[in-house]
Amino acid sequence: MPEHTQHGTATPIAPRPARDDQEVGKRRGTGRTRRGRQTRSQLVDAARTVFERDGFLHARVADICDLAGFSHGSFYTYFVSKEEIFREVVDSVELDLLSPEPSTSTADPVERIRAANRHYLETYATSAKIMHVIQQVATFDEDVHKIRLQRHEVFARSIERRVASMQDAGIADRTVDPAYAAQALGGMVAYFADLLFNTDNSAGFTLDNAVEQLTILWANALGVRASD
């Protein structure tokens, strides 16, 4: 049985229980009513708080239920395990983080890059604690790892299309490969967000300066200049 080490203690990871697809479908179906959606959402919000506070391995379904104000029976009406609700938390956090930035009325390409970088960093700042837990769990949970890869692939494709669009408009270097740019520049921002909000190596860095410097790096890498 695989083990994961947290705080120097090896803790066995419980095998995922076999699930009856029809039964799971029935449970998930209860979230289709307005009340069901509200209950499910409250459980997910409570789970996020518990995972942020206790980490994945030490989080308990009982604590999630207590915080949400529901019984164990209510929890198992919607989720079959702690692992399943954690994956839903992951999906919602990644979706918020990697969603396109709010549209901006400016036509200046550098300003659009700046707005995208600020959106990512500010969104990451609100999710830094749970992102730290997600990164840990992704090292030993294949499903969580896949969710992250899928979301990042969608995000990369979005950046790739944006770069190609700027090239078509004649405002970005056409010798830059959009696919390489998407992975390299997107990865740079993601790494710096983790450095800024989840490590002890961020002394002297601020969000505003990070936005500005990352924007300069993006613009220079793509050969983009501000509109006159």
Max avg pLDDT among 11-25, 45-59, 111-125: 45-59
Contact 186, 155 (CB under 8 A): yes
Note the pLDDT of residue 28.
53
Segments forming the whole domain that contains residue 28: 3-80
Task: Please say which residue of 80, 107, 133 terminates a domain.
Answer: 80
The predicted model gives 112-122 an average pLDDT of 93
Identify whether residues 212 and 110 lie together within a single domain: yes
DSSP of 1-54: --EEEETTEEEEPPPPPP--HHHHHHHHHGGGSHHHHHHHHHHHHHHHHHHHHH
- Please state, in angstroms and rounded to a whole number, the distance separating the CA atoms of residues 170 and 180: 19
DSSP 102: P
Is the per-residue pLDDT at 7 higher than 80? Answer: no
- Please tell me whether residues 62 and 113 are part of one structural domain: no
- Does position 159 have pLDDT exceeding 50, yes or no? yes
Mean of all residue pLDDT scores within the chain: 85
Looking at the fold, whether 146 and 71 belong to one and the same domain comes out as: no
Domain boundary among 54, 80, 106: 80
CB 87 within 8 A of CB 80: no
Burial status of residue 3 (CB atoms within 10 A of its CB: 0-12, 13-18, 19 or more)? exposed
Sheet strands (E) in the chain: 3-6, 9-12
CA distances from 54 to 7, 57, 86, 93, 112 (A): 12, 8, 13, 17, 38
Asked if residue 86 is part of any domain, the answer here is no
The mean-pLDDT minimum among 8-12, 86-90, 211-215 falls in: 8-12
Question: Quick check: is 149 in a domain?
Answer: yes
Q: Estimate to the nearest angstrom the gap between the alpha carbon of 109 and the chain centroid.
A: 26
The answer on 156 and 70 residing in a single domain is no
